[in-house]
Amino acid sequence: MLPGIGAQAAMAVVDRQGAALQARFAARRDNAADAAGLRERAQRMTDVDSLLKDRRALRMVLEAFQLESEIDKRAMIRRALTEDPASPSSLVNRLVDRRWRELAAAFAEGRPPGQTPADAAAGTGEKLRGLLDRIVQGAMVNRYEKAMGEANPGMREALYFRRVAGGVTTVPQLMADRALVEVARGALGLPQQFGMLSFEQQRDLLTRRLDMSQLQDPKGIARLTGRYLAQANAVPATSPVAALFDSQGSANGIAALAGRRLSLSA
């Protein structure tokens, strides 16, 4: 969508016409057909196994939670949909990735007392309609952001950051989401080799450089995404990879970055 105009110009259009753009995208023939097909097939599903056997429906469910790349992890999906997400021992509560917890919670929401997670995942009546509405909406938002990113590099991550970052209050929460931390890295002007540092070094650097209160302010989020897009679409004068190697071609430059806590701050 909005191909070739550049990410910053595309974001300016989204600021003015975002709701209308999303509505037109969701109404596109292929997207409308997928949404209608999911609603129709869901009426015939009786349990989690029915969903797992329907790859087309399963993909759309996972798209709603940005988990479509995990579609072949059937054992994990089954556990996410059948275990109680309120239990500390459930799989989703032992994973860092919050998307799995959101998937499990969506299917468990509104479960009547005594109903098993597997029964709730099948869903009936009002609960099923509410769940399908959430899945369709989430999948369309995911597809829209992906289409924007395909047309203008950096847009998918920036739109996702705008949508999700307001719910993040700590640096570890931010680091649990690769897309969020990538936008923060770019906004702060940190090189891609930031990812080579240890978790502790990344955490400490982000703690020093990123004012988390910005994520509670829409204007702060807009500033961060604007800086990210400017960095993502800039053409570097020299290779950032080469800068990490000394004149003999060794990796001493990487070691220096890891050894000096402030070396990436300049």
Residue 140 sits in the same domain as residue 190: no
What are the per-10-residue average pLDDT scores of the chain (266 residues)?
87 94 96 96 89 95 96 96 92 93 86 49 68 95 96 94 95 93 94 90 94 95 95 58 41 42 33
Closest CA to 263 of 199, 182, 209: 209
Residue 80: inside a domain:
yes
Of 118, 151, 184, at which residue does a domain stop? 151
pLDDT digits (tens, 9 = 90+) for 68-115: 999 999 999 999 999 999 999 999 999 989 999 999 999 987 454 445
- C-alpha–C-alpha distance, residues 142 and 50, integer Å: 24
Are 103 and 179 part of one and the same domain? no
Q: Are the beta carbons of 155 and 9 closer than 8 angstroms?
A: no
- The domain tally of the chain equals 2
pTM: 0.80
The two most distant CA atoms of the chain are separated, in Å, by: 68
Last residue in a domain, options 151, 180, 214: 151
Domain carrying residue 27: 7-151
